[in-house]
Amino acid sequence: MKGAVFIAGTDTGIGKTWVASGLVAALATLGPSVAGMKPVASGCVLTPDGLRNDDALALQAASHPRPTYDDVNPVALADAVAPHVAAQRAGVDIDMPALRAAFDRLGTGHDLVVVEGVGGWLVPLGPGVEVSDIPRQWKLPVILVVGLRLGCISHARLSARAIVADGCELMGWIGNQVDPAMEALDDNIATLDRLLAAPCLGILGHDQPAAPALAVAARQIHDRWLINFP
């Protein structure tokens, strides 16, 4: 594996998977083999193949070459609640070494791995374990997906501050307009651009194709932080 990045979010339901799977596909067009990963996912549906999560399936489908589902999503939890609660209900201990083993297997077969978190930065996974431990322990640079809606400035600044305080590199941020009627959208974006100590890698408009903006973001990530391919 030549590079990896962690996709964090200011909250749940703000488009992390939309961004992560789009970046996987866009990075793959630049030459490297790329895998998406969702280490922990709650809200999984029981299928003939086992528990499956829509976010993880989207990441698997965008990956090239296509990895096994168990490596993309090593911890699949049925209940659509906070992951530590879903794990407790299922009698599952979320084991960091097991997550790392799946990450390493993806890295063996791919040049790049895009790892998507669950919920926000400080969501607990179990006693003494948080989502933030994944990028911190694996030393992954972080891209913050900001859900563009009322309150996003404080949420983004608090998340960015926590990422840096935990010793992780904040590579940049991507805005996703989750509220189609958000007032003062451009003013809020300008404020985020001024106050966040990381570059804006792209803005995704509500109900607009994400591919063009994510292609630009992927090129920046590829050239500045990961690996340059001929």
Query: What's the distance, Cα to Cα, between the start and end of the chain in Å?
Result: 17
Which listed residue (2, 16, 38, 139) is catalytic? 38
Closest C-alpha among 102, 46, 97, 110 to residue 71 = 102
* CA pair distance 149, 62, nearest whole angstrom: 27
**Active site (annotated) includes residue 38:** yes
* Residue 144: C-alpha distances to residues 36, 102, 111, 154, 169 (Å): 16, 23, 22, 13, 11
Active site residues: 38
